[in-house]
Structure 1
């Protein structure tokens, strides 16, 4: 069992990576998953070819399962995808740090960017708008209706 500090780093790094994968929403989910795969491969660079291959194969299986789903409610799917990715990434990074404790400081850097990770908010009503890091992406019309005194 790893110490609580190391587990916090793993959780932070997994959270940062999974948030990065889904931040652009459903239309760019495939791109986000690819981007995170590249980051993960760099993060576990100390692992041997077999270990790295196994870790990336586990990640790929999770990513493929997410992409095979039919889009349902956007918020639900993104939340579920982020949760599944975070769980898989925690498994991968836990095994990695158990084998390569000297990589802890590198993963800590990745985990520390969690506070600056951009958040995606989806607002739906008659229309749909996406906010990334508080910035509106696309158009937004707010209709408060007629004022009645």
Structure 2
């Protein structure tokens, strides 16, 4: 599906998504017209799903990130749906992921500081429905982060 030109375009695009299209075309070794046609084709094929802003929440004063792993009480057949719907309403939840295995759901939660995290945890997280067990993992450092693929 992807040829070497598409891969070059995607490598450059991932490296610097905000780059001007003329510069992107130059770095990928194609004309601007070719770049636009290929980007449109990649978007139509669902390879490029969206262009988005990535906001550094630390720059906005959030210093704490905690990964919470939940095992749900699955006696209610709607437990997953109800839990996820309620978790979506918590503004401090950055990500919601579901798993097969001992852990059912993971939430990534941010807070300004430990006092704020304690408030969020007590008033918003522990009140989520169908929690059987919860485990917290506090982020110390991020070693590797990104969406780059081996293209």
- The two structures have a TM-score, normalised by structure 2, of 0.28
* Richer in helix (by share): 1
* Richer in strand (by share): 2
